[in-house]
């Protein structure tokens, strides 16, 4: 038996308060639907002075800040168009070269077969 009583006897903790700190439960139904409903509106963000809105799966600029920005956008679109055209031309050239390579490989294969056949024919004659 311990000298000064029970060595481990913690005090019981008081029960927690169950009241919510939020005041949303006191609102009426229509206000709660507005506050907590599923209608969030369209996502909007601002980057480098331009406001972008997400609409039908694409980000759309709501306002262009300066005319410098619109000139830059036009320049970039033109450059993008030029690069796409260049890319299409290069793809066409690659396809053409692959066709030429396959034709040359087929001709080479036929010539090797003809050469092998001539060698076999000449060996039989001897």
From residue 20, alpha-carbon distances to 23, 35, 118 in Å are 8, 17, 98
Given a cut of 90, whether residue 109 has pLDDT beyond it is yes
Same domain as 70, residue 119: yes
pTM of structure: 0.43
Given a cut of 60, whether residue 110 has pLDDT beyond it is yes
Given a cut of 90, whether residue 78 has pLDDT beyond it is yes
- In a domain? residue 13: no
- In a domain? residue 7: no
Mean pLDDT of the chain: 82
- In a domain? residue 78: yes
DSSP code at position 56: T
Same domain as 116, residue 103: yes
What string of DSSP letters covers 73-91? HHHHHHHHHHHHHHHHHHH
13-71, pLDDT tens digit by residue? 887 776 666 666 677 777 777 777 666 678 888 887 778 888 888 888 876 555 556 78
E strand spans, the chain: 44-47, 50-55, 58-63
How many domains are contained in the chain?
2
DSSP code at position 23: S
Question: 41: domain range?
Answer: 20-63
Alpha-carbon gap, residue 111 to 75, rounded angstroms: 54
């Amino acid at each position: 038996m311990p000298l000064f009583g029970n060595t481990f006897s913690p005090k019981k903790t008081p029960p927690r308060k169950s009241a919510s700190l939020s005041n949303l439960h006191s609102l009426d139904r229509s206000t709660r639907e507005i506050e907590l409903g599923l209608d969030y509106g369209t996502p909007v963000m601002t980057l480098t002075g331009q406001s972008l809105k997400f609409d039908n799966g694409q980000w759309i600029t709501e306002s262009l800040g300066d005319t410098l920005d619109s000139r830059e956008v036009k320049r970039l679109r033109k450059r993008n168009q030029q690069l796409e055209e260049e890319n299409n031309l290069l793809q066409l050239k690659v396809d053409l070269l692959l066709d030429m390579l396959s034709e040359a490989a087929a001709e080479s294969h036929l010539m090797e077969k003809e050469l092998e056949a001539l060698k076999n024919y000449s060996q039989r004659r001897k």
